[in-house]
Amino acid sequence: MEESVHQSIRFGSVADLIMWKNRRGGFLLLGSTTLLWFLFEKCGYSFFPFVVNTQLLSVVILFLWAKSAILFNRPMPQLPNLEITEEFVFMVADAIRVWINTVLAVAREIYVGRNAKQLFRVSVVLWTVSFVGNFLNFLTILYLGVVLSLLIPFLYERYQDLIDEKLSLTHRVIQTQYRKIDERLLQKIIAKPTNKIKKMQ
């Protein structure tokens, strides 16, 4: 039995959010990110003043709410215990450590192993990121990432068979083109240093 997208995400609340099981949370995330993107990107609002003003407004509202509760004998506002747990910090640090080690391992494989294929793959990815970065800033890319994370899993769950078929076809085409590039270019690049070493000997 194939594992569904919802099951593969592992984190139940996150899966409910991006699979639109939690519609309220999904609309809230999409709406808030759209509003923030509009404020920062279109209205020219700066991030630091936004954070400070939001905190200032929150503190003033809570202060007035607490004062009015005392004056009118109403219950005080219930505030959650806001704190970052050690488990969360360790989890984030471990995820960052794994990512950094992966990057260093790839760099070592290219440098020490002289892996031309890996160099080609990394170069294509970095060039693509650079090309996209010429047209979109970091905030817009981040916003698109949130929107796509809410759309892609949901659409894939609905049209999984069709998408798998198209992706398989695309993968075969890319593999064919890569083999051609490998035969014509990469193998020659790998062979040149070997020939030079033989001549020196």
Whether 143 and 187 map to the same domain: the answer is yes
Integer Cα distance of 78 and 3 in angstroms: 41
Is 60 inside any structural domain?
no
pLDDT at 97: 92
Q: Classify residue 165 as exposed, middle or buried by CB count within 10 Å of its CB (0-12, 13-18, 19+).
A: exposed
Q: Could you say which of 113, 136, 159 is where a domain stops?
A: 136
Integer Cα distance of 120 and 106 in angstroms: 12
Q: Which of 64, 57, 35, 26 is nearest to 150 (CA)?
A: 26
pLDDT at 10: 53
Is 50 inside any structural domain?
no
Integer Cα distance of 21 and 115 in angstroms: 44
**What is the residue range of 112's domain?**
85-136
Residues in the chain with pLDDT < 50?
1-2, 194-198
Is 51 inside any structural domain?
no
Is 90 inside any structural domain?
yes
Is 23 inside any structural domain?
no
| Inter-CA distances, 73 with 38, 66, 135, Å | 41, 10, 57
Is 151 inside any structural domain?
yes
pLDDT at 185: 67
Integer Cα distance of 66 and 113 in angstroms: 65
The Cβ-side half-sphere exposure at 17, using a 13 Å CA radius, reads 15
Is 175 inside any structural domain?
yes
pLDDT at 1: 38
Whether 146 and 187 map to the same domain: the answer is yes
Give long-range contacts, CB 8 A cutoff, 24+ apart: 177-183.
181/120, 182/117
Is 142 inside any structural domain?
yes
Whether 125 and 145 map to the same domain: the answer is no
Indicate the number of domains in the chain: 2
Whether 132 and 145 map to the same domain: the answer is no
Whether 156 and 119 map to the same domain: the answer is no
Contact 132, 145 (CB under 8 A): no
